[in-house]
A and B are shown apart, each in its own frame.
Chain A
C-alpha cells in the first residue's frame, strides 16, 4: 500500500477509535488509552534507532523528560497551546539527540548505549538542581477544563493529541522503512563495515535516526505534564519508560513498524490490567521477564514468530 492511502486508512482507524472511546462514556478509557498511545509513540520512536539501525538507546526517559520539562518551562511564563509545545519538545529532544549522537556514534554501538544511560542520569541531576522547573519538589501544571479550539473535555483533547502523534510516528516509521533510508539503516544493523564499503554514509544516517527517534520521544513527553498534573522526577524519569520502550519493540518485532505497534498495544494493555489488579511493581517485573524471555527465545518478536509460522517454504 502506498503512503497516502495508508495515512488515510490510519486516520480513519484513529477517528473510529476516538469515536468509540467517547461512546463508552467513561473517562478511564481516555486516561488508560492515553498511556497506551504514548507507548506506541515511544516504542515506535525507539525502534527507528534500535530496531532499524541496531543502536540501543537506554535513555528513552531522558528524551521523554526533555519534552515534558520543556512544556513545564514554557508553562511557567506563558501557557502555549499543546501542538506548539509538542513542536518545541521535538526540537529540544532532537537537538540533544544530535549532540549525544555526534559525540558517541562514531564508536561501537555498546558505547553509544552506555552513553545514553549516562545521559539520562546527567539530565536527571540537572533537573534536580534546577528550581525553576520544580527541582526535586516537582512542578504543578493546572489542566484546563477544556481546550480552547475543539471545546472537548481536556482529557479527551489530550487523548486526541496522542492519537495524532501515534499515527504520525507509525507513518514516519513505515515511510522510512520502505525508503532508501530504510535500506541504509538496515545495512548499518547488518554489517556497518560492509555498509561503509558499499558507500553508505553510516555516521550521517545514524545521526538522522537518533534525531528522529529523539524528537518523537520528546513529542510524546510534551503533553505529559498536562496529563499528570504534577510532574516530579520519579514520574518523568520513571523506570517504566526505559524498559517499555525496549521491551515493546523487542516483543512485537524490531524489523518493521508493525512490531512496536503490536508490542505497545498488547503490552500496554496488559500493564494497565496488571497495575490495577495486582501492583505496579509486579507489572514491571512481568515486563522485565517477558523482555528477557523474548530476547532469548523469539529474537524477532511476535512479528517474527508470525512470519515463521506462515511463510512459504
Chain B
C-alpha cells in the first residue's frame, strides 16, 4: 500500500466571517498528475497558500511525505520538497532572470545536500532550467523587461529549481498561445516522468484534460468532484457549477 505523498484532511480556512475553504480532503499519490479546476474565487489559490504555509488553516491537517506540516514555515515546506509557482508572477525584481533561479538553488537545494553546489554547478543548472522553459536568451534580462508570458515561465522555472517532489503550478499558462500551452504541458509531463508529482491548477480545459490523470473540482470552497477526468466533466454538479459558465 503506497503512502500518499500529500494528504489533506478536513482543511478549512476562514477570513473573518467568510469561509474560503470548507473541510477539504485531498490525497495525492507519488507520481500522480492531478488537475485542480474551479471558478474564480473558489479557493484554489487559498488552498495552495495553506498547503505551502503562506496562510495558516484553522482546522485540518496537511501531511507531506508522511510529515505533519503544522507549524512549519513556508521555506521549511519548500525544503521538504513542496514547491509552488504563484498565480500572479512574483519575480525578484532587482535580480536578473538567471539570478532568480539561483535563489532556490542556494537556499533550498543547498540546504538539503552536502557538499553544497559549486558556483559552476549553480551556473550550469540555471542555464539548463532556462533552456528547458525557453528563456535561455533572457538570462541576463531583468524581470521588468519580460513579457507576461516570459514571467510565467520564469515563475515555473523558479519552482522547478527547488527540485521539488511535488510541484504545484498555479495558472502557469494564462495568456500563453496554443503552442506555448502545449510546450508547458509537455514540460510538466516530462517532469512527471522524472518522478515529480504535479498538481496543475488551470482554467484552460484542453491543457487540464491532456495533462491530468485525476481531476479535482473546487467550487465556493468545497470539493465537489474528485476522480477520472472524463467522468468528472460529465458530472452534473460540475457542469452546473463550473463548465456551464
State A184–B78 Cα separation when bound (angstroms).
15
Contact status B73-A203, CB under 8 Å: yes
The segment from B39-47, B94-102, B192-200, B214-222 that touches chain A is: B94-102
Nearest-neighbour CB distance to chain A for B133, whole angstroms, equals: 16
A157 beta carbon closer than 8 Å to chain B: no
Contact status A186-B75, CB under 8 Å: no
Within 8 Å by CB of A200, from B94, B95, B107, lies B107
B74 beta carbon closer than 8 Å to chain A: yes
- Residues in A155-193 with C-beta less than 8 Å from chain B: 180, 183-184, 186-187, 189-191, 193
State A191–B90 Cα separation when bound (angstroms).
7
State A255–B162 Cα separation when bound (angstroms).
26
State A201–B72 Cα separation when bound (angstroms).
11
A198 beta carbon closer than 8 Å to chain B: yes
B229 beta carbon closer than 8 Å to chain A: no
Contact status B75-A190, CB under 8 Å: no
Classify chain A: how many residues form its interface, as a range: 20 to 34
Contact status B158-A199, CB under 8 Å: no
- Which A residues are CB-close (under 8 A) to B53? 196
- Which B residues are CB-close (under 8 A) to A199? 75, 78-79, 103-104, 107-108, 111, 162
State A36–B137 Cα separation when bound (angstroms).
46
Tell which of B75, B78, B83, B90 has the most Cβ of chain A within 10 Å: B75
Contact flags (1/0) for A201-221 with B, using CB distance below 8 Å? 111000000000000000000
- Which A residues are CB-close (under 8 A) to B84? 197
State A110–B6 Cα separation when bound (angstroms).
36
Contact status B103-A195, CB under 8 Å: yes
Classify chain B: how many residues form its interface, as a range: 20 to 34
State A193–B75 Cα separation when bound (angstroms).
10
B91 beta carbon closer than 8 Å to chain A: yes
Closest to A184 in B: B107
Nearest-neighbour CB distance to chain A for B209, whole angstroms, equals: 28
A194 beta carbon closer than 8 Å to chain B: yes
Contact flags (1/0) for A48-61 with B, using CB distance below 8 Å? 00000000000000
State A199–B75 Cα separation when bound (angstroms).
4
Within 8 Å by CB of A198, from B54, B73, B107, lies B107
Given A201-B75, A202-B75, A203-B73, CB of A194 within 8 Å of CB of B107 = no
Given A180-B106, A183-B102, A187-B103, CB of A197 within 8 Å of CB of B94 = no
State A146–B103 Cα separation when bound (angstroms).
51
Prevailing SS type, chain A contact patch: helix
- Residues in A34-52 with C-beta less than 8 Å from chain B: none
Tell which of B78, B102, B103 has the most Cβ of chain A within 10 Å: B103
Prevailing SS type, chain B contact patch: helix
Contact status A191-B92, CB under 8 Å: yes
Contact status B95-A194, CB under 8 Å: no
B242 beta carbon closer than 8 Å to chain A: no
Contact status B92-A186, CB under 8 Å: yes
Contact status B95-A190, CB under 8 Å: yes
State A195–B99 Cα separation when bound (angstroms).
13
Contact status B86-A183, CB under 8 Å: no
Contact status A197-B111, CB under 8 Å: no
B93 beta carbon closer than 8 Å to chain A: yes
State A195–B100 Cα separation when bound (angstroms).
10
- Which A residues are CB-close (under 8 A) to B108? 198-199
- Which B residues are CB-close (under 8 A) to A189? 94
Nearest-neighbour CB distance to chain B for A156, whole angstroms, equals: 41
Within 8 Å by CB of B103, from A193, A198, A201, A255, lies A198
B34 beta carbon closer than 8 Å to chain A: no
Contact status A198-B111, CB under 8 Å: no
Contact status A193-B95, CB under 8 Å: no
State A191–B54 Cα separation when bound (angstroms).
13
Closest to A199 in B: B108
- Which A residues are CB-close (under 8 A) to B91? 190-191, 194
- Which B residues are CB-close (under 8 A) to A201? 73, 75-76, 107
Nearest-neighbour CB distance to chain B for A176, whole angstroms, equals: 14
Given A184-B107, A187-B103, A203-B73, CB of A198 within 8 Å of CB of B158 = yes
B24 beta carbon closer than 8 Å to chain A: no
Given A186-B92, A190-B95, CB of A200 within 8 Å of CB of B75 = yes
State A191–B94 Cα separation when bound (angstroms).
10
Nearest-neighbour CB distance to chain B for A133, whole angstroms, equals: 40
Nearest-neighbour CB distance to chain A for B91, whole angstroms, equals: 7
Chain B: residues with CB nearer than 8 A to chain A?
A: 52-54, 73-76, 78-79, 83-84, 86, 90-95, 99, 102-104, 106-108, 111, 158-159, 161-162
The 4 closest A-B CB pairs, nearest first, are: A199-B108, A196-B74, A199-B107, A194-B90
Chain A: residues with CB nearer than 8 A to chain B?
A: 180, 183-184, 186-187, 189-191, 193-203, 255
- Knowing that A194-B158, A195-B103, A255-B94 are A-B contacts, what are 7 other residue pairs whose CB atoms are under 8 Å apart, sorted by A's residue number? A184-B107, A191-B92, A191-B93, A193-B90, A197-B86, A197-B159, A198-B108
